[in-house]
Amino acid sequence: MKNKFLFLLLSVLIMSCSKKDDKQERNPYLTDPAVRINLNLNLPEYNKLKFPGESVIVGQGIKGIVVYCANESLYFAFDLTDPNHAPSNCSRMELDGVIASCPCQNDDNKYYITTGQHIKEPDTKYPMQSYRVERNGNSILVSN
Q: Which residues of 78-115 are buried (b: 16+ CB within 10 A; e: fewer)?
A: bbbbbbbeebeeebbbeeeebebbbebeeeebebbbee
Homologous superfamily, domain 2-143: Rieske [2Fe-2S] iron-sulphur domain (2.102.10.10)
**pLDDT one-digit tens code per residue, 79-107:** 999 999 999 999 999 999 999 999 998 88
The Cα–Cα gap between 78 and 68 comes to: 9
Which residues partner with 111 through β-bridges? 100, 118
User: Phi and psi dihedrals of 64, rounded to 5?
Assistant: 105, 160
**pLDDT one-digit tens code per residue, 23-77:** 457 899 999 999 999 999 999 999 999 999 999 999 999 999 999 999 999 999 9
The pTM assigned to this predicted structure is 0.82
In terms of Cα–Cα distance, which of 144, 142, 143, 140 is closest to 73?
140
Q: To the nearest whole number, what is the mean pLDDT of the chain?
A: 87
Q: In what order do the strands lie in the sheet with 94-96?
A: 94-96, 99-101, 110-112
